[in-house]
Amino acid sequence: MTEILYIILGAFVAYLMGSFITAIWYGKQYHGIDIRTCGSGNAGATNTFRVLGKRAGTIVMLIDIFKGWLATSLAVLLVRFDIIDPLQLDVYKLIYGLAAVTGHIFPIFERFKGGKGIATLLGMVFSIQFEAALVCLAVFLIVLIASKYVSLGSIISTLSFPLMIIFIPRFHTQTPIVIVFGFAIFLMVVLTHKKNIKRLFHGEENKTYLIPRKNH
């Protein structure tokens, strides 16, 4: 019973951490605006980049990644205090990480209207499988630079995580639920990007130029 209470408490704390929406806080604190009323209306790093510039976008992205990593890593405390078996660590990291991502998408502090959770999700993957997360980040950047679409980069890089776990021996896991999680997260990202996908098919999606265009 005590174990269950600790697990629930940890998940709740992770959700609260996820509910701290950096883009909203930064926009109001340093620019006096609610980022949700500008640009695409999304409370995330991409919209912050477009509306407030690279410095603001970078700060928001890094804090959101750290937030996801820290919330997920709360599970380590359960092992340190002998509340769970070390073999269960990845499972509880998944629980806490998903709680943080859920908090980012449906933040209790912002009337349940947050961002899409991509940076927080990346932080979660960093905590679970660091090397695979680096590859996912590389895939995202390659797709973004090639296509100029953040949404496409997010979708493809998310799909690359479970595929790497399955097909690349270096990333194999003894916790099969991680693979299930990977595909579940991919589905969640697709669902949260439905409007973006529709715009991609119609050629109306906003482009993001990571490498500045040359003026002719």
Q: Is 85 left (phi over 0), alpha (psi -120 to 50) or beta?
A: beta
Does position 98 have pLDDT exceeding 80, yes or no?
yes
**pLDDT per residue over 135-182, tens digit each?**
999 999 999 999 999 999 999 999 999 999 999 998 888 778 889 989
Is the pLDDT assigned to residue 206 strictly greater than 90? no
Question: Is the pLDDT reported for residue 118 higher than 80?
Answer: yes
pLDDT of residue 102 exceeding 80, the answer is yes
Q: What pLDDT score was predicted for residue 1?
A: 62
Per-residue confidence (pLDDT) for residue 47, from 0 to 100: 92
DSSP string, 92-104: HHHHHHHHHHHHH
Residue 216, pLDDT score: 47
**How does pLDDT run across 50-96, given as a tens digit for each residue?**
899 989 999 999 999 999 999 999 999 989 988 888 888 988 999 99
| Token pair 């991680």: residue | 178
Instruction: Tell me how far apart the alpha carbons of residues 132 and 181 are, in angstroms, rounded to a whole number.
Output: 14
- Look at residue 23 in the predicted model and tell me its pLDDT: 96
State yes or no: pLDDT of 215 exceeds 60: no
Q: What is the model's pTM?
A: 0.87
For residue range 30-45, list pLDDT tens digits in order.
999 999 999 888 899 9
- Strand intervals (E) in 34-149: none
